[in-house]
A and B are shown apart, each in its own frame.
Chain A
Amino acid sequence: MKEIVLIKLGEIALKGLNRFSFEDALKKNIKSALYGAGYFKVSIAQSTIYVTPQSEVDMDEVCDRISRVFGIVSFSRACVCEKNIEDIFLKAPEYLADTLRYAKTFKVEAKRSDKKFPLTSPEISREVGGLLLEHFPHLTVDVHNPEVKVVVEIRDFGAYIHAGAEKGAGGIPVGTGGNAAILISGGIDSPVAAYMLAKRGVKLTAIHFASPPYTSERAEDKVQRLLRKVSRYAGPIEMITVPFTKIQERIKDECEEELFTIIMRRMMMKISNIIAEKYDCTALITGESLGQVASQTISAIACTDEAAEMPVFRPLIGMDKEEIIQISRKIDTFDISIEPFEDCCTVFTPKHPRTKPVLKFVKYAEEDAHLDDLIAEAVENVKVITIR
């Protein structure tokens, strides 16, 4: 039996004149998400996207991948019928057998957008409902709270039968909300922050700071694996790894211990700003959450913020750790994040970092360390790979 996926668009159906560019982006993202799973025709009509397999495919896998594409409110895996009631009668009992065999209650809902179809929607519901009751006599009809809602859709190009819609990932299509760079270390927070802005349509570039030999290739590999998980939602991501050892060593040698973390984070912002610009990004994203650690107090954030020229998005700023962990479990990054490898943020951490740094004094200390040449050198020597 031929199956397709019908995709209902979310917020993007509301976006007025921009609607077409949103729809095109979504079509492109769906194709990209299905890359390697077979051949598909992705078309759009009557604000529904049709994903029609052109080769033998694993529909479970297809639906799993579609469930992670932003911009989709709901989708249904449906059986394709010819546009006559005989064919619907022929296919419905067999296609729905698995779902209905162990269900107790059901109802049939018909949607007829092609008004040339000889039966009206209530007639279709009644006929198909009667037929299913004949095939599955143990069922009873419950129009208010059915266990299974069978939907028969009569559309312009065909008729479709399915057992209700699944919830999509929501949000808006990646790529329609501009480009931003996520600063990613390997902890729990930054992959979640990346996911949250991808959900709002942002195309991501990732910036990672590596400090060999203080941090290992395993830490870098961990970040790659995290980004691979995020890319299931966000599409392909360019990961830029910045060699950060010399800068960290100089800060440690030249600056007051208590200021180490704040100056290090300012350097990360400065470097990210330069790199982000090169890669056409217009904002930075971090996983900071207010009060979580010493460098995430209001005064510390004020100090780091000053080092970035671009706007810095901090989607987790008001969230509790538990809430963040919940999302990281959902996007399957949690288990990777808790692997115990040193990352650039844990190297040389002072015993008592300053929680209320004053920008003026931080800047004096920074000037004394003469970091500009090292920043230029780091930016020069980045390593770029594409994660998909």
Chain B
Amino acid sequence: MTIHYLDNSATTRVSENAAKKAYTLMTEEFANPSSLHSMGFRASKELENARDTVASALGAESSEIIFTSGGSEANCLAILGAAHAHKKRGGRIVTSALEHSSVYDTMLHLKEEGFDVVFLPTKAGGKIDIDAAFEAIDERTILVSLMHTNNEVGIINPVEELKKIIKHKNSPALIHIDAVQAFGKTDIKVSRTGCDLLTVSSHKIHGPKGVGALYIRKGVRILPLTFGGKQERKLRPGTEALPLIGAFGEAVKELNIKGTTEHVRALNTYLREQLSEIDGIVINSPEDASPYILNFSTCAVRSETMLHHLAARDVFVSSGSACSKGGKSHVLKALSLPDEVADTAIRVSFSKHNTKDDCDALIEGIRDGLSTLARR
């Protein structure tokens, strides 16, 4: 029986080429990139090639990319590193209530440290309220952190506006963008977003888990979280995870943003149509959300029950963000959905491997679940 994997915003299948690259870098070119000999030199070339690939995908310079252990670490490094480096300029940090937990929890931590953290409200539909951002950003604001594409409902925030607001308000604030769910899915270029820091991850785009990257605009200073060696411009010391980084580079090389987005958009539209034919189903993702994510609620069967029911039929979806296993999603809470909607939310997320068959299997599973499972 084939599986219907519709949980690609949680993670994706690693591409053959990426996996092969990791294998080669573990068994053949396994030297330490910092070693002076020619094997070490070849390893460092592999490292820099991966860096070049990631940089050019973002329209950045290679020297502006730091590899980390993933999106969460990159978010923490960006936020804590910027907050601590620039606290003398002022104490205000602006973010939203819709962030990924690696941003949200870091912000709560900074609040405890004494920073004045402002959580921006959202407008109906879930986009960040840009007028509230305009109000909140002032001359004491040192950092604004916003996610580009939300991981639970796929809302796309108008992050390009931030640069203009900051300029207009004469604020010294740095801009951090969490682009984990956007990288490789929409053509993100750092110059266009106007950001100073930007987070991306490998395992959402068919690379391995355990590696991500942080873009740090040239001239922007942040402090490290760990100390040890000179790797990654001393901002992320320790021997580089070359097999993972090399595989990340391969995955980025294989991106076909335009083609995949068209493919996924067709599936998204199809699924929306099919779902709207089922009584009681509410679609939580707005029309202009990322086509890669479709969040809906059955308003009848609890998310987890439905999720396990679908898994028994080899259909794999998510009940919210996988990072907050079980816990009530602070994002759905921030969207102030009624309880019956929030409790029954299902997130479907697509990749290039999905087909119409997967959508049909999901629809069949949902219909079956709705007629057999106990209501909430």
Contacts and interface: CB of A to CB of B under 8 A. Distances in A.
B192 interface: yes
Contacts of A64: 191
A216 B41 contact: yes
B168 interface: yes
B63 A335 contact: yes
B41 A60 contact: no
Nearest to B63: A335
Contacts of A218: 36, 41, 44
A82 interface: no
Contacts of A58: 59, 187, 189
Given A216-B36, A218-B41, A102 B167 contact: yes
A101 interface: yes
Contacts of B167: 102
Question: What's the dominant secondary structure at chain B's contact region?
Answer: helix
Interface residues of B, number: 17
Contacts of A60: 59, 189, 191-192
A359 B216 CA distance: 52
B61 interface: yes
Interface string A82-126: 000000000000000010011000000000000000000000000
A332 interface: yes
A61 interface: yes
A112 to B, nearest CB: 31
Given A216-B41, A217-B38, A221-B41, A61 B164 contact: no
Interface string B35-46: 010100100110
Contacts of A101: 164
B261 to A, nearest CB: 14
A332 B61 contact: yes
Interface in A147-170: none
A359 B189 CA distance: 57
Nearest to B169: A102
A64 B189 CA distance: 13
Nearest to B36: A216
Nearest to B191: A60
A332 B165 CA distance: 29
Nearest to A225: B48
A102 B189 CA distance: 22
Nearest to A104: B168
Contacts of A221: 41, 45
Interface string B287-326: 0000000000000000000000000000000000000000
A58 B188 CA distance: 11
Interface in B189-204: 189, 191-192
B171 to A, nearest CB: 12
B41 A102 contact: no
Nearest to B59: A61
Contacts of A335: 63
Nearest to A61: B59
Given A60-B191, A60-B192, A221-B41, A102 B164 contact: yes
Contacts of B45: 221
B227 to A, nearest CB: 20
Nearest to B218: A332
A332 B61 CA distance: 10
Nearest to B160: A98
Nearest to B62: A225
A101 B131 CA distance: 13
Nearest to A332: B61
A58 B41 CA distance: 34
Nearest to A218: B41
B59 A217 contact: no
Contacts of B38: 217
Nearest to A216: B36
B220 to A, nearest CB: 14
A102 B165 contact: yes
A226 to B, nearest CB: 13
B168 A102 contact: yes
Interface in A197-242: 216-218, 221
A316 B78 CA distance: 39
B4 to A, nearest CB: 34
Interface string A332-370: 100100000000000000000000000000000000000
6 contacts: A58-B59, A60-B189, A60-B192, A216-B36, A221-B41, A221-B45
Given A61-B189, A221-B41, 7 more contacts: A60-B59, A60-B191, A61-B191, A216-B36, A216-B41, A217-B38, A332-B218
Interface of B: 36, 38, 41, 44-45, 59, 61, 63, 164-165, 167-168, 187, 189, 191-192, 218
Closest 5 CB pairs of A and B: A102-B168, A60-B191, A102-B164, A217-B41, A218-B41
Interface of A: 58, 60-61, 64, 98, 101-102, 216-218, 221, 332, 335
